[in-house]
Structures are given as C-alpha cells and as structure tokens.
Amino acid sequence: MRNIYLYGQITKEYIDEIVKKLIYLDSLKHEDINLYISSPGGDVVAAFTLIDVMNILTSNINTIALDLAGSAASLILANGHKRYAHKNSFVLIHEMKASSYSIDLVLNINKEIMKFLAKKTNKPIKVIEENCSFDNFLNAEEALSFNLIDYIV
C-alpha cells in the first residue's frame, strides 16, 4: 500500500515535502495513494497547492481523516478521489480568518474556498457560506451527510 501522512500544522514547507512524495510515488506507478490526515489546518494557500498537485497526478489520491481534518486540512480531505473519515473523526470547516495576508487576498481566498467546497459537496455556494460563517465542527456522520466524505471507516 502506498501511504503518505499529513500530521500537524499545514505550512508551505510541510506541503512541499508532501508534494515531493506524491510526485515520486506517482512516477513509480499509477496506483492509488492514501493520504492520511490528522491536522488542525494551517496555511490555506499551501493546502490549495497540494490540491492542485493531487488533481494533476495520474494516481488516484484517497484521503482519510484520522481524528481531525480542520480548516485547510478539510479542503485537502474533500479533494480526495475516495474520501474517508474514521468513526470518531471530526472535520472543521469555516471561512478564512484574518492572517498575515492582505484583506483583499483573504476575501479572494474565501471566495475560492466557498466555490471549492460547493463543487466538492454539490451544494449551493449560499449553503456553504452559511455553514462556513462559524467554526463548524462536523462529526463523521455529519461530514458524510454534508458530502465532505464518501465513507466512514
């Protein structure tokens, strides 16, 4: 089995390492890769970098939430080919909070987050905006009902 682990805070440097591993595994053979996630979130721009790479690889990237896929990590989870969460896992969705980025960039990133989640969950952007207007912790059953994941393990 081809497994990669995303544990802890998401940073650009950490995502760069994950990207290198994914590209390497994909270059060896085009079989499924499992990305295990246990993260409170972090840099959403770095998360979108990983998402972009996941989308261009030939191998299917399955995502599995082990305990918490929070914030930026929830976007990565939602992008999996097959999306899993363990029974006692939680998924945190919300809009991007103030950061070191300019307010204009934060607003643009929030628009991208809403469009991305709407696409991945097949829900209208209005529903996504309402559900992301606060720190929305979903248990595995709720994440499944919300279409953030496909299976509970």
Residues catalogued as catalytic? 71, 94
CA 71 from centroid of its chain's CA atoms: 8
* Cα–Cα distance for residue pair 144/147, rounded to 1 Å: 5
Q: Produce one character per residue of 79-111: b if its CB has 16 or more CB atoms within 10 Å, e if not.
A: bbeebbbeeebbbbbbbbeeeeeeeeebeebbe
Helix (H, G, I), strand (E, B) or coil at 36: strand
Q: What span, in angstroms and rounded, lies between the C-alpha atoms of 34 and 58?
A: 14
Residue with tokens 């097949």: 122
